[in-house]
Amino acid sequence: MGNAGYIIVKNSEGAGRKATYRDFYGPLDKGSAKPSFCYPKRKESLQEEVEKMQKSLDNGYIAKDREMEAKVQLRTKKKRLDEINAQESDAKKLFNEHKDQWMKRRADIATEISDATPTQTDTKKKRVNPHKVLAMEKSGLEDKKREYIVLSRLAGEESNTAFLQKE
C-alpha cells in the first residue's frame, strides 16, 4: 500500500514523526469509534443540560436537600463539556497546521472508498454479494470511512460516505 495515510509532524525537538488521524482522538474517546467532536448533537445536548441545570440552581427550583447533588452533577457536566471543547480545539489546531496534506489525504480516501463500494445501480438491482461487501468493510474499508468522517468534520465538509458511492 503506497499511501498509508501518514502526515509528517514536527514536534518541539525538531524531529519529525508520522501523524495519523488517530492523533485527533483524546482521553475522552476511550474505545469510541470516532472522536467526541464528531458527535455535535451530543455536545449540543450536553450544553443544553448544563444551561438548564445552572438556571434551575440560580432560580432556586431545586430543593435544598438536593442542591449539593445538583451542584456536583453540574460541575461534572461542565468539566466534560470543557474537555470536549479543548479536545476539539486541539484537533483543529493540528489539522490546520497541515491542512493541505490532510485535505489531500481526505481526497485520496474518498477515491479509495468510491472505488471499493459497489455502484448504486448494482445495489439497487441486487447484483451485490453481501458477504463480499462485509468482507471489504472488515478488511480496512470501515477504518478508511472512519478516517474520512473525522477529516471531513475537522474540515467542515460533508462527512457522509454514502455520497461517495458511484452511480
pTM: 0.75
In a domain, 44, yes or no: yes
Give the separation between CA 150 and CA 159, rounded to whole angstroms. Answer: 8
Ramachandran class of 101: left when φ > 0, alpha when ψ lies in -120 to 50, beta otherwise = alpha
Q: How far, in Å, are 56, 70, 73, 77 from residue 53 at the CA level? A: 5, 8, 9, 10
Residue 2 is assigned to a structural domain of this protein: no
Q: Is residue 24 part of a domain?
A: yes
User: Domain total for the chain?
Assistant: 1
pLDDT tens for the chain, 167 residues: list them.
Answer: 455 666 666 554 445 567 788 888 888 887 788 888 888 899 999 999 999 999 999 998 988 899 999 999 999 999 999 999 999 999 999 899 889 999 999 999 999 888 877 777 777 777 777 777 777 777 788 888 889 999 999 998 888 777 777 77
- CA-to-CA distance for 105 and 128, rounded, in angstroms? 28
Q: Is residue 90, in this structure, part of any structural domain at all?
A: yes
Q: Residue 52 domain-assigned?
A: yes
Residue 1: inside a domain, yes or no?
Answer: no
CA 107 to chain centre: 17
Domain extent at residue 90? 7-164
Please provide residue 30's backbone torsions phi and psi, each rounded to the nearest 5 degrees: -55, 105
d(CA 140, CA 74) in angstroms, rounded, equals 40
Radius of gyration of the chain (CA): 21
